[in-house]
Amino acid sequence: MTIHRINPTPRWSDITVFQGIAHFVEVAEADTRADIKGQVGQIFAQAEESLAKVGSDKTRVLSVTIYVTDFANFAALNEVWDAWFAPGTAPSRACVKVELANPELLVEMAFVAAAGKAYQ
């Protein structure tokens, strides 16, 4: 069975796909000084690009693990989350409070999604 690694580096791959399931992690890359809504918005925009690379979209997200640095941002995070997913398509998720390696980052998300036919 083939493991597809998209843009592999010595430390990580941008996306790893095995048996039709894609795994990838996103952080705010364009503007790390944005507030939580801005960072979550950036993450979702990047996630859409990552999903497209494996022939998928946000309706095929299976689960998301959310790493947040401050639960005071939880309500604002949920506002952006609720607006991004169409009704009935929200995946399972976990939200954990952490300290991230870059102190400007407020949130990091690990996605698991069903990939398109080319990755089955």
Phi, psi (rounded to 5 degrees) for 92: -70, 155
* Residues facing 110 on adjacent strands: 25, 65
- Mean pLDDT, range 9-16, rounded to an integer: 97
Residue 83 has pLDDT above 90, yes or no: yes
In percent, how much of the chain has pLDDT > 90?
Answer: 97
Is the pTM value of this prediction over 0.85?
Answer: yes
Write out the two tokens for 107: 């949130």
* Dihedral sign for Cα atoms in the order 106, 30, 88, 14: negative
- Mean pLDDT, range 2-12, rounded to an integer: 96
pLDDT recorded at residue 64: 98
Contact 111, 25 (CB under 8 A): yes
What are the CA-CA distances from residue 23 to residues 10, 13, 110 (Å)? 17, 9, 7
